[in-house]
Structure 1
C-alpha cells in the first residue's frame, strides 16, 4: 500500500472535520491520541501512561514536564491523579526509561522558543528511546529535520503519526506507527488517504519506513 502523507494545512482541516460532522470533542481526540501513543510506545519497548499532545515531555514512570502555558484543566486533572510535575528536565531524564516528545504538533513553524531549546538538546543527546508524536520537535512538517539550531541532529527512535503521516516522514529512519482509528471512511476519502487496517482492538499500526522513498 502506498503511504500518502497529509500536509499541515490539511491536517488542521481534517481535525476540524472530526470535530464537526465527525462529532468528536477535542478532549475525546486528545484521549484517543494519547491511547495511540501509549500503545506505540509499549510496542517500542516501554509501557507508558496515556499522553496528550498538549503535554511537553513525559517519562513512563509518570513524571511530567509541561510548558508554563499548558492547559490548566489538564494540569489539575494530572495533579489530582498524583502525577508529579518537574521543571528541571535535565535531572528528570536521568531517571527515565523512555521519553515521549510531544512539545509541538503539526502546526509548528518558525524558531524553537524558550524553554524548549534545552529540552530538545537533551532529547538529542540522550541514549534513552524517544517516541515523538506527529513530528520530532523542531522538525519542519514539510521539510524534515532542521539544518541548524537545537534540533539539528535530533532523530528519535520512534514516531507516531496521528491520523496520517506528515511529509517529514521522508527523513525519518526509526520505527514508524500510525495512530488514529477514529478517522471515518468518508473523511479518509475526502483527504485521499489510504490508511492501514488496524488489527483487533489495536489503536496503532506499524508501517514500513519510507525514508528516501517518496
Structure 2
C-alpha cells in the first residue's frame, strides 16, 4: 500500500498554512527541508564514497533548500560546489549564500563543466510549483543530468518533471531519471513514474495538519529527518 500523494495545489496550500496557523517561518521550513536533503545524501553517498557534491540551485524555494543542504554537507565533511545562476534578491537567499561563502564553498558558472569534477549531484532546480517550459540557463543543466553517469539526488521532484504526470513524453527531461528522490512532507503524484530510491523528509508536521490535507506522517526513527519508502511511495 502506497503513501497518499500531495498535489501541487495542495502542497502550495499546505506551505501557506504552515506559515500561518502552523506558526512556522519560511526560514524554519527551508532549514528543515535542507537538513532532510543533506541526510539523504549522507545515507546514499557517504563522504568515503567521494566527498565532492555539486548542488544545482534554482531561483525559488527549491534552490533555497539546496543552499541549506550544501551548508550541512560542508559540516559533514563534504566539499560542495554550488551552481546558482539566478540569485534571488530576497534577503533570506542572500544570507544562505553568504553562509556558504563564509565556509569557502565555491560558486561556479558552468554546470556541465563542473560535473567533470564531482562525485554526486543534488538537483534543487525546480520543485512542486514548476510548470511550463524550462527556461535558460537551465536546459543545459537538465541535459547534463540526463546524460551523466553520476548519482543524482532530486529535491521534491526531478527537475523538468510535471508534478502530476511525471517526466515529459519527449524532448528535454524525458530521459532524466535520477537515482534518488526526497519528497518533502509527502510524495507528489509524479512518484508513480520514479524507479530509484525514494525518501520522505520533513519531520515537523502535526497530525492535525496531516489529517486536514489527507496525507500520512511516516514513522521516523531515532533522530532521523528522513524515511526511505518504496520508489512509487509504497511502504517498505
Q: CA deviation at 1:46?
A: 3.3
Q: CA deviation at 1:62?
A: 1.1
Contact 2:84–2:107 under 8 Å retained in 1: yes
Deviations 1:22-69 (A, max 9, x none): 1111111111101101111111123588x8722569695211000323
| Aligned with residue 116 of structure 1, among 129, 132, 138 | 138
In the alignment, structure 1 residue 53 sits paired with structure 2 residue 62: yes
In the alignment, structure 1 residue 65 sits paired with structure 2 residue 74: no
Q: TM-score, normalised by structure 2?
A: 0.83
Q: CA deviation at 1:81?
A: 2.1
Could you list the runs of 5+ residues in structure 1 that have no partner in the other structure? none
Matches within 5 A, 1:19-168: 19-47=19-47, 53-55=62-64, 60-70=78-88, 71-168=93-190
- SS class of match (2:106): coil
Q: CA deviation at 1:211?
A: 7.8
Greater mean alpha carbon deviation, residues 98-107 or residues 51-60: 51-60
| 1: CA distance, partners of 2:128 / 2:183 | 10
Q: CA deviation at 1:185?
A: 0.6
Contact 2:200–2:228 under 8 Å retained in 1: yes
| 2: CA distance, partners of 1:210 / 1:160 | 12
| 1: CA distance, partners of 2:231 / 2:106 | 35
- SS class of match (1:11): helix
Where has structure 1 moved over 3 Å in runs of 4 or more? 46-49, 55-60
Deviations 1:112-138 (A, max 9, x none): 000000011101111110000110000
| 1: CA distance, partners of 2:86 / 2:154 | 20
Contact 2:198–2:233 under 8 Å retained in 1: no
Question: Which residue number in structure 2 is paired with residue 13 of structure 1?
Answer: 13
Q: TM-score, normalised by structure 1?
A: 0.91
Root-mean-square deviation (CA, aligned residues, Å) is 2.2
Greater mean alpha carbon deviation, residues 104-113 or residues 55-64: 55-64
Contact 1:178–1:205 under 8 Å retained in 2: yes
Could you list the runs of 5+ residues in structure 2 that have no partner in the other structure? 56-60
